[in-house]
A and B are shown apart, each in its own frame.
Chain A
Amino acid sequence: MSEAKGLKSWLTTTDHKRIGLLYFWTAFVFFLIGGVEALMIRAQLARPDSQLVGAETYNQLFTMHGTTMVFLALMPLGAAFFNFIVPLQIGARDVVFPRLNAFSYWVFLLGGLFMNASWFLPGHPAPDGGWFGYATLTERQFSPGPNIDFWLLGLQILGIASLAAGFNFIVTILNLRAPGMKMMRLPVFSWMTLVTSFLIITAFPVITVALVFLMFDRVFGTHFYLPAAGGDPVLWQHLFWVFGHPEVYILILPAMGVVSEVLPTFSRKPLFGYTVVVYSGVLIGFMGWGVWSHHMFSVGLGPIADSVFALTTMLIAIPTGVKIFNWLATLWGGQIRLTTAMCFALGFIALFTIGGLSGITHASPPADLQQTDTYYVVAHFHYVLFGGTIMGLFAGMYYWWPKMTGRLLSEPLGILHFWLTFIGMNLTFFPMHLIGLLGMPRRIYTYSTDLGLDRMNLWSSIGAFTIGLGMVVFVYNMWRTRRHGAVAGPNPWGGATLEWATSSPPPVHNFDVIPTVTSRMPLWDAQPPAKAPAEPVHVPPGSWWPLVAAAGLPVMALAPLTHTVWIVFVGAAILLYGIYRWAYEPFEV
């Protein structure tokens, strides 16, 4: 990485590796915040009729837990690896638009801070409408405070960050691949980054439209979702889930990509059925657009709509199942080394399978009528998003930590982290299947002891704190590597892809010579030796303007929040000035 030190070098950086680290640490802090919110939820639900936190606080906690984990933790943790790893995997020196990349990060950071600032204002007006923000509850009439405004403005800011990053990675992957790296030689993680980026640029405009409608309803008195004047609250549900279901794949596909890298490395075998795995990922991305109404079976859209969405949803199980079988076949006959990264990848397969199977049970609309909005669904999607996405991201963290920092995480501590997480996760979420089937709804801050679910809820809470303990071990492990981690060297795991062809951490220009690729597993197949660089490598200089431009957005968002029109012009002026200076910035060589 760049030799430059000090705060300025980080504020102005356009190096994809530094931006990757900024994404990683910011998202990791938000991940811890979302985790603390989860622990407070489980503390409240450990006993029936608990008075620990009130109804209002609880509603804010589950709203912000969901919103934080989806938009501020899991997506940007994926983006951290997109940033750090993808340019290395494809043999590039950086992303196509390095300053746009910095802009994405700063917008993400400021959007996250904007939304969370609501906790610290007088009266703590944190969002309380649920991460799904159903109209008409989120309309001014039923939520008069600024809570929902923080949520819908924060999400609009974050959407800009995601869109900019999505375009950047699509163009980067399509255009900056090293010589010889045909699309069908692209590592699966980079492939899944590409599919995810396409989903981002197509899904986020939809939620942006939905949020703008809601903002107009709340600020300017329109009636998009208000039935009294001919609007329809179900419109919100359609728009939200047209975004919301692809969003699920935005969260899971990067983790599937990580697993597709980790399993071959630690089985010492290439990924089984590479082509099928890639096409399955693409197919899942496409089919993810045709299933949104399975979130709405209880709305009563009618038997024909319900049947169609049930069948499209069930069809997605096929490419998903194909991926799982190909991963199993990758293990088959291999030389499996149970490193921490591998344990998390295997945990992904074990747990994601459970989430997929419970998903089939509510792909069936009549069955879903008993399951939706109960803890059964909470169990289901935590097996997908924790058992799947988070296990996959942990696998990625152990796998790529040495590449990102130059040092190895402790394996014994890692294995301890894995078992605490795996056991805690199942203890937390498995009982929720039963809690839901036995009649406990989601999003309730209190429940009666009459439900007979006290003990299962207590187990679930104990499980949550076990996960928390695992996180303490992990944070200690990361902190410890600052001095005590073993030095990694370029390729500590014997990986086959190009990120392992350069030093750890890589130099600012990534590769002295851009490698020429002749196969899918370049480091496992004999490669011609790299020649010395013919000329000095140009490295893009730092720039203040992405940060300045990004700072205009939260300022603009203050206008609808405070109902003060002139602020929007101040924010727009900052944004435009930043873009103007950015556009005319001299190109230094």
Chain B
Amino acid sequence: MPPFRRHYTSFAALSLGLLAACGGPFPQSTLAPVSDFGHDIDRLFTGIFWWAVAVFVVVEGLLLFSVFRFRHREGAPSPKQHEGHTALEITWTLAPALILVFIAVPTVRTIFKTAGDAPAGALRVEVIGHQWWWEYRYPDLGIVTANELHLPVGRPVAVDITSVDVVHSWWTPRLGGKRDAIPNRHTKLAFAPDSVGMFTGQCVEYCGASHANMRLRTFVESDSAFQAWVAAQRATPSAPAKGSVEETGRQAFQRYGCIACHTVAGFATGIIGPNLTHVGSRTTIAGGTIMNTEQHLHDWIADPPAMKPGSMMPNMHASPPDVTALVAYLQSLK
């Protein structure tokens, strides 16, 4: 079934009544998985969900029936004083236990299947959480980027997750479950995306002021598109032409101390903030929260904490012409 058909079927199953009032589409739906990992979880959840529905119907049905059937009537004789019934007690102990067996067996099976062990030859990706952005490294490809992950469709991915400051959690709902990013620990996820597209996600472990602004995008691409992206990311950007506005921007980049935190291959080597070598090719800035347009980039550089509360990037009080030049320079870093 195509993802969106499947998406709506599961969804309708969940809540027919609310469907009309819901809105949508839902780009972060866990019910429309696009990886083997996501499908495994979805199958497990669907099974448990229907068991829960069955128990719900029985319990609420008995409750409503009792309330309507056994209402107090004036002059009725005092009800029979039942104190208990051993056979009934045994029955309603064993029945839930039996249902739990049907839930526990597929649960344990799926736990081991989704334990994060990728097959040999998987694409290795390192995810490093920072307040409040994601660093991505491809150790075998020599690529370092931020907030936007590119993956080839169909190829297994081995994700290694850690953090440099507080606990974060990395999650792209349609690609499967989340995993915490914990300082000094390495956690892992493994999945193989099965559909091409852009899938959004965000940090799901509360990590301070701008937790809500720590978003991410995962681009699942055809193999050729991915290879083209890899080639572009591995190239060192050429220095701007003498006398150009980009060249002024590059000088400002040095003068305002941007180089202390940011890397631009061949020019700056800071490692505190995102690597900006190819920032012009990214679709978003500021932890994946705003689109990478000239205007947004301008506003961002002029006053980062105004756009992202608590931002570690301070307001450098750059003069308006310098901001314009910086924007031109950063946009040139394709």
Residues of A within 8 A of B (CB): 54-56, 59, 130, 134-137, 142-143, 227-228, 232-234, 267-270, 272-276, 298-300, 302-303, 306-307, 310-311, 314-315, 317-318, 321-322, 324-326, 328-329, 331-338, 346, 349-350, 353-354, 357-358, 360-361, 363-374, 430-431, 433-434, 437-447, 450-456, 459
Q: Is B230 an interface residue (CB 8 A)?
A: no
Chain B residues with Cβ under 8 A from A55's Cβ? 209-210, 212-213, 309-310
Say yes or no: B73 contacts A335, CB within 8 Å: yes
Chain A residues with Cβ under 8 A from B70's Cβ? 267, 331-336
Q: Scan residues 207-254 of chain B and give those whose CB is less than 8 A from a CB of chain A.
A: 207-213
Using CB atoms, name the residue of chain A closest to B53. Answer: A357
Chain B residues with Cβ under 8 A from A302's Cβ? 115
Chain B residues with Cβ under 8 A from A455's Cβ? 21-23
Closest Cβ–Cβ distance, residue A321 to chain B (whole Å): 4
Chain B residues with Cβ under 8 A from A273's Cβ? 83-85, 88-89
C-alpha spacing A321/B83, complex, angstroms: 18
Chain B residues with Cβ under 8 A from A269's Cβ? 79-82
Q: Is B100 an interface residue (CB 8 A)?
A: yes
Say yes or no: B184 contacts A54, CB within 8 Å: no
Besides A318-B97, A335-B70, 10 other CB < 8 A contacts?
A: A143-B208, A300-B180, A303-B111, A328-B62, A336-B66, A346-B63, A366-B110, A369-B41, A373-B178, A455-B23
B30 interface neighbour in A272, A353, A438, A443, Cβ under 8 Å: A438
With A274-B83, A336-B71 known as contacts, the answer to whether A322 contacts B92 (CB < 8 A) is yes
Q: Is B52 an interface residue (CB 8 A)?
A: yes
Closest Cβ–Cβ distance, residue B146 to chain A (whole Å): 19
Chain B residues with Cβ under 8 A from A445's Cβ? 212
Say yes or no: A276 contacts B82, CB within 8 Å: no
C-alpha spacing A274/B86, complex, angstroms: 12
Please name 29 pairs of A and B residues whose Cβ atoms are closer than 8 Å in the assembled complex, sorted by A. Answer: A55-B212, A55-B213, A56-B209, A59-B211, A228-B184, A233-B183, A269-B79, A269-B82, A272-B85, A273-B85, A298-B169, A307-B107, A307-B112, A317-B96, A318-B97, A322-B92, A328-B63, A333-B80, A349-B59, A353-B59, A360-B100, A369-B114, A370-B176, A371-B30, A437-B14, A444-B212, A452-B22, A456-B21, A456-B23
Say yes or no: B21 contacts A459, CB within 8 Å: yes
Say yes or no: A439 contacts B29, CB within 8 Å: yes
Closest Cβ–Cβ distance, residue B25 to chain A (whole Å): 6
C-alpha spacing A552/B137, complex, angstroms: 54
Using CB atoms, name the residue of chain B closest to A447. Answer: B212
C-alpha spacing A332/B84, complex, angstroms: 12
Say yes or no: B206 contacts A437, CB within 8 Å: no
Q: Is B93 an interface residue (CB 8 A)?
A: yes
A137 interface neighbour in B51, B63, B167, B204, Cβ under 8 Å: B167
Chain B residues with Cβ under 8 A from A353's Cβ? 55-56, 59-60
B107 interface neighbour in A233, A357, A366, A459, Cβ under 8 Å: A366
Chain B residues with Cβ under 8 A from A430's Cβ? 18
Chain A residues with Cβ under 8 A from B24's Cβ? 452
C-alpha spacing A353/B59, complex, angstroms: 8
Q: Is B154 an interface residue (CB 8 A)?
A: no
Say yes or no: A328 contacts B59, CB within 8 Å: yes
Chain B residues with Cβ under 8 A from A303's Cβ? 111-112, 115
Q: Scan residues 26-81 of chain B and give those whose CB is less than 8 A from a CB of chain A.
A: 26-31, 40-41, 44-45, 48-49, 51-52, 55-56, 59-60, 62-63, 66-67, 70-73, 76, 78-81
Chain B residues with Cβ under 8 A from A267's Cβ? 70, 79
Chain A residues with Cβ under 8 A from B202's Cβ? 441, 444
With A142-B166, A315-B100, A322-B93 known as contacts, the answer to whether A137 contacts B185 (CB < 8 A) is no
C-alpha spacing A459/B179, complex, angstroms: 30
Say yes or no: B22 contacts A332, CB within 8 Å: no
A336 interface neighbour in B72, B88, B116, B179, Cβ under 8 Å: B72
Chain A residues with Cβ under 8 A from B184's Cβ? 227-228, 232
A453 interface neighbour in B23, B45, B83, Cβ under 8 Å: B23
Say yes or no: B208 contacts A349, CB within 8 Å: no
C-alpha spacing A336/B65, complex, angstroms: 12
Using CB atoms, name the residue of chain B closest to A456. Answer: B22
Chain B residues with Cβ under 8 A from A354's Cβ? 56
A333 interface neighbour in B82, B165, B167, B180, Cβ under 8 Å: B82
With A439-B173, A441-B204, A452-B23 known as contacts, the answer to whether A332 contacts B178 (CB < 8 A) is no
Chain B residues with Cβ under 8 A from A434's Cβ? 11, 14-15, 18, 22
Chain A residues with Cβ under 8 A from B112's Cβ? 303, 307
Chain B residues with Cβ under 8 A from A329's Cβ? 82, 85, 88
Using CB atoms, name the residue of chain B closest to A367. Answer: B45
Q: Is B192 an interface residue (CB 8 A)?
A: no
With A227-B184, A272-B83, A437-B30 known as contacts, the answer to whether A370 contacts B49 (CB < 8 A) is no
Say yes or no: A335 contacts B115, CB within 8 Å: no
With A137-B207, A273-B89 known as contacts, the answer to whether A299 contacts B14 (CB < 8 A) is no
Chain A residues with Cβ under 8 A from B210's Cβ? 55
Closest Cβ–Cβ distance, residue A103 to chain B (whole Å): 35
Q: Is B125 an interface residue (CB 8 A)?
A: no
Chain A residues with Cβ under 8 A from B81's Cβ? 269-270
Chain A residues with Cβ under 8 A from B104's Cβ? 310-311, 314
A335 interface neighbour in B76, B131, B167, B179, Cβ under 8 Å: B76
Chain A residues with Cβ under 8 A from B177's Cβ? 298, 366, 368-370
Q: Is B147 an interface residue (CB 8 A)?
A: no
Closest Cβ–Cβ distance, residue B82 to chain A (whole Å): 6
Closest Cβ–Cβ distance, residue B311 to chain A (whole Å): 10
Say yes or no: A227 contacts B183, CB within 8 Å: yes
With A136-B166, A366-B41, A453-B26 known as contacts, the answer to whether A276 contacts B48 (CB < 8 A) is no
With A55-B210, A361-B48, A450-B27 known as contacts, the answer to whether A369 contacts B179 (CB < 8 A) is yes
Chain A residues with Cβ under 8 A from B56's Cβ? 353-354, 357
A310 interface neighbour in B25, B111, B212, Cβ under 8 Å: B111
Using CB atoms, name the residue of chain B closest to A365. Answer: B111
Q: Pick the 6 closest A-B CB pairs, nearest first.
A: A439-B28, A369-B177, A227-B184, A444-B212, A300-B187, A55-B309
Q: Is B108 an interface residue (CB 8 A)?
A: yes
